[in-house]
Amino acid sequence: MENTLLALWQAVPSGYVKQTQLADLLDLSSKQTTRLLRKWANEGWFTFTSGRGRGNPSHLNWLKNVEEAYEQQLSQLIEEQSIETAGKYLLFDWSPEIKQRLMHKFRSNFGYIQNGTSDGDKLIIPRKYPLLTLHPLHAADVHSANMVATVYNRLVSVDERGHVSPELAHSWDLTPTCLRLYLRKRVHFHDGSFLAVEDVVDCLERLRTDASYVDLWKPITAIKAISPYALEISFPGGCSYCLQMLGMINASIYKGTALDPIGSGSFFVEENHELKTTLMAFEDYFQERPLLDSVQFIQVPEDFDFAYRTSANDRSEDTFQVESDSGFGVVIMNAFRDSPINQKEVRDYVHYAIAKHRHTIGQFHPRAMPNHQSCLIGQEQAYSLPFTKKPVLKKPLIIKAANYTNGSTRWLKKALESEGIPVEIVWLSFRDKMLDTKDDQTADLFVHGEVFEMNQNFSFFYFLSNGYSPLAPIMKSQAMFSNYMQQYSDMPFEQWTALNLKIERQLIESSLMIPLYYEKRQIPFSVDLMNISISHFGYVDFSKLWIRPIIGG
C-alpha cells in the first residue's frame, strides 16, 4: 500500500490531466512521477496515456477503486493482529467514512490480553506521538519522561505533597551542608548486574554537569562514594531542595554510557522503534514485580480514540472515567528578541489582548479551562493589568508553534488579530519543538504547555530553572529574577509557595509569561482493570495495574 497512490485516487478522477499537475500534487519530480505512473499502470490500477508535445494534457482512466482495495488489505492485516504494521497504514489520508470504519476495527486489538501463552498478560496502548528518547537526561516531553519513570528508578521518590520516601536509597542523613545516602543491596540492573555506588556517583555527576541542569545543581560542590553502599553529596552554601531534586525523573539512576543506559525499573525495554515500543516486566525487580507481563505502545493517528480497555470488555459503555491533570498553558514572550516584542508597551498590549479573549479559548481547545489567575493550582493570584495604547507594528509578530498546541495557537492568532496585532505562525514538528531550547527562539511569542511531574512547588521551581524551559534564560539574565532564584537554596522547602507566587506575579506583570489555561483529561478505563493510580506527569502507573479475570462457571 502506498499513500501517494491513495492521494492520487482521491484527488484526480478519470479524465484529462497535465502530468505537471500530478507531480505537484504528489510533491515529486517529473522523473519520479513518470516512474510511478508507469509502475501503477503496470499493476493494473489505471491506464495512462501521456500527452504528446509540451503542455498537452495526458489521460488517466481508473480501473480499480484504490481506497476499497486498500481497505480490504488493511482490514486483513488488522484481523491478523499485526497492529504495529497496520498502525502505519492508518496514518494514510483516508476518506473520513473509511478511516472511521478502519479505526473501529483497529481499536478492538488494543487493551488487555490475558492468556496462558509465553507472551503472558499484556496491555496494548495507542500512542499518538513518537517516543523521542528513553534517556533520563534528555526526557523533556511528558511521554518520554513517563517511560523513563517506568524503566528507571530514583534514589528517592517525591509525592504530590512533597513527602520524600526511600527508593534505591533505603535511608539518609541530612544536614544543612551535606546529604549522606545509604543504598539498598543486591538491586539488579536489567542486564543482571548489581547496582554499585559508583553507578550512582557517575549518573549524578553527568547530571550536575549537563548543560540543561547545571544551574539547578549549582549548589552541589561534590558527590563522592564513602563506602560500597553509601555516598555523600556536599553543598557548603546550603541546598534546601537536594532531596526533592534527587526524586526528579532526570535524576534516574542507570548503568552504562550516555548512549546506552541500562535501568533497574519495574519494566525493561524489549523493543523500541518509530511504530512500536514494548516494555517487559522485570523478574528481578527489587520491589514488587508488576502484575502485567508486558505493555506495548503502538503508533496511531492523532485523532484516534484513546481508552484503556481489556480484551474481555471492549464496549465503550463498560468504561469509567479517571480524571488526570494535563498541566497548564502559558504564553511566553521573547523579550530578548531584536524586535518590537522587547518593548514592554508592546508586550503589555499583547497581554491585554490575551486577557480580553482568554475566556473563549475553549472554542479552539476543548479541554482547556481559561486561567485568569495562577499556574499553581489552588492558589489565587490576582494581578493588575495597566492600560496600554495599541502600538504601531510595521511587521507581523512571529508565533512559533507545534501540532500539540495547534488549537491554542490558532486561538492566540485570532485573539491578537482581532485587536489589530498582525501575526504569522511558524510551524515546527513535535520533535523539533521539543528540542528547540536555544536562548534565541527566533520568534516573538509562543504557547508553552507544561505538565508538572509530581509535587507542584518543586515542579514550578524546576520549570523556571531547567535548561529545557523557555523561562530559564529570563531567570538567569534579569537581576531581579536571578536574585529570587538564589533564595530557593536557603529557604525551607515548606515555605516555597510564597516565593513561587511572588516570582509568578513578577513574570505576569512584566508581560513575560501570561497564564492561559488549565487542562485536564478524562481517561476511559475498562471496568475490569484494577488498581488504577496516576503517577508522574498524570500518567497511569503500569507497575500497579492488573485485570480481574473472568472465571467460568
Q: Which residues contact 438 (CB under 8 A, 6 or more apart)?
A: none
Averaged pLDDT for residues 219-243: 96
- Whether residue 192 lies inside any domain: the answer is yes
Q: DSSP secondary-structure letter at 495?
A: G
Same domain, 229 and 337: no
- Residue 308, pLDDT > 80, answer no
Same domain, 466 and 371: yes
Residues 365 and 458 in one domain: yes
Instruction: Flag whether 305 is in a domain.
Output: no
Helix (H, G, I), strand (E, B) or coil at 46: strand
Q: Are residues 475 and 359 part of one domain? A: yes
Mean pLDDT confidence for 142-163: 90
Same domain, 334 and 241: no
Per mean pLDDT, which range of 189-198, 306-315, 356-365, 514-523 is the poorest? 306-315
Dist. CA 440–CA 251, nearest whole Å: 27
**Are residues 361 and 501 both part of a single domain?**
yes
Residue 313 binned pLDDT confidence (cut-offs 50, 70, 90): very low
Same domain, residue pair 60 and 202: no
Among candidate residues 40, 64, 88, the one where a domain is terminated: 64
Same structural domain, 393 and 508: yes
267-282 per-position pLDDT tens digit? 999 999 888 899 999 9
The verdict on 380 and 471 lying in the same domain is yes
Compute the average pLDDT of residues 348-365: 94
Residue 112: pLDDT above 80? no
Q: Judge whether 76 lies within some domain.
A: no
Does one domain contain both 330 and 435? yes
Q: Which of 198, 222, 251 is the last residue of a domain?
A: 251
Confidence band for 100, pLDDT divided at 50, 70 and 90: confident
In total, how many domains does the chain have?
Answer: 3
Q: By C-alpha distance, which of 394, 398, 477 is closest to 441?
A: 398
**Hunting for cell 496511531 — which residue is that?**
300
Domain end position, chosen among 223, 251, 279 = 251
Please state which of the ranges 56-60, 135-139, 182-186, 475-479 shows the lowest mean pLDDT. 475-479
> What is the mean pLDDT of the segment spanning 14-20?
89
The reply to whether 463 falls in a domain is yes
pLDDT at 319 over 60: no
Residue that has been written with the C-alpha cell 509557595 in this structure? 497
Q: Tell me if 145 is assigned to some domain.
A: no
The enclosing domain of 409 has a CATH number of: 3.10.105.10
Of the listed ranges 30-34, 45-49, 325-329, 524-528, the least confidently predicted one is: 524-528
- pLDDT one-digit tens code per residue, 390-416: 999 999 999 998 888 889 999 999 999
Query: What would the pLDDT profile of 43-86 be if each residue is shown by its tens digit?
Result: 999 999 987 766 678 999 999 999 999 988 888 887 776 666 77
Q: From CA 291, how far away is CA 134, in angstroms rounded?
A: 23
pLDDT value for 505? 92
Q: What are phi and psi of 509, to 5 degrees?
A: -70, -20
Q: Is residue 280 part of a domain?
A: no
pLDDT, residue 110, reads 58
Beta partners for residue 446, in sequence order? 332, 400
Look at residue 553 in the predicted model and tell me its pLDDT: 47
Q: Is residue 247, in this structure, part of any structural domain at all?
A: yes
Q: Contacts from 214-217 at CB under 8 Å and sequence distance 24+?
A: 214/467, 215/465, 215/466, 215/467, 215/472, 215/476, 216/245, 216/462, 216/465, 216/466, 217/245
Q: 241-275: b or e for each residue (b if 16 or more CB lie within 10 Å)?
A: bbbbbbbbbbbbbbbeeeeebbbbbbbbbeeeeeb
- At 53 the pLDDT is 65
Phi, psi for residue 102 in degrees, rounded to 5: -65, -40
Task: Say which CATH number the domain at 54 has.
Answer: 1.10.10.10
- 39-57 in b/e form (b: 16+ CB < 10 A) is ebbeeebbebeeeeeeeee
Give domain status of residue 505, yes or no. yes
For residues 243 and 341, state if they share a domain.
Answer: no
Predicted confidence at residue 170, as pLDDT, reads 97
Structural domain for 158, as ranges: 153-251
How confident is the model at residue 315, as a pLDDT? 44
pTM as predicted: 0.76
Instruction: Give residue 54's region: left, alpha or beta (phi > 0; psi -120 to 50).
Output: beta
Say how many CA atoms lie within 13 Å of 462 toward its Cβ. Answer: 22
| CATH code for the domain of 198 | 3.90.76.10
Query: Are 502 and 360 in the same domain?
Result: yes
